[in-house]
Amino acid sequence: MEILAVLALAFLGWLGWQLYRAKQFNQFKLMIQQELAPKVRAKLVIVLEESRSELTPNTEAHIEASQVFWTIHPARTIQAAFHFNVIDKSWLEETGNMRLCQHLMAIDSDKLADIKELEESHK
C-alpha cells in the first residue's frame, strides 16, 4: 500500500514538473511575439526599403506581407531574428532560452522558411 502511495506522489511530482516546463515554454513563445516580433518587423522594413529596385519594388503591401510571413509563427520569428541579425546565440544563452528555442525549432520545423531559397531569389 505504501508503495502505491509513493508511486502516486512521484507521478504527481512528475506531472507538476511537466506543467512548470510547459508554462516556461508558453512564456517563451509569448516573449517572442511581444518582444522579438516588433524588432523583426522593424528590421524587415529597413532591409526591404534598402533593397528596392525595379525588379523588387518592395511596396508597402510587399513589406506588410513580409512582416506577416515572418512573424506569424514563433519559430519563424526566431528564424528571422537570427537571419536579420536581430539576436544571436549569445542572447539565447544570456536569457537562458537555448533549450526552449531548440524545442520550438524542433516541434515547429514544418513552419520554418527555406532561407537558402530566399537568398537565391534575391541574387
In this predicted structure, the answer to whether residue 98 has a pLDDT above a threshold of 70 is yes
pTM over 0.75: yes
In a domain, 37, yes or no: yes
In a domain, 73, yes or no: yes
Average pLDDT score, the chain: 93
Q: For 105-118, write each residue's pLDDT tens digit.
A: 999 999 999 887 66
Instruction: Count Cα neighbours of 90 within 13 Å in the Cβ-side half-sphere.
Output: 2
In a domain, 84, yes or no: yes
In a domain, 87, yes or no: yes
Residue whose entry in the numeric block shows the C-alpha cell 519594388:
57
For 82, residues 6+ apart whose C-beta sits below 8 A from its C-beta are 88
Q: What average pLDDT does this structure show over 86-100? A: 95
In a domain, 72, yes or no: yes
Structure-block grid coordinates of residue 108: 515547429
Number of domains in the chain: 1
In a domain, 12, yes or no: no
Amino acid, single-letter form, for residue 58? N
Q: Percent of the chain beyond pLDDT 70?
A: 94
**pLDDT at residue 121, as a whole number:** 56
For 104, residues 6+ apart whose C-beta sits below 8 A from its C-beta are 25, 28, 29, 74, 75, 78
For 43, residues 6+ apart whose C-beta sits below 8 A from its C-beta are 80, 84, 85, 86
Q: For 41-50, write each residue's pLDDT tens digit.
A: 999 999 999 9
Expressed as residue numbers, the domain containing 39 is: 24-121
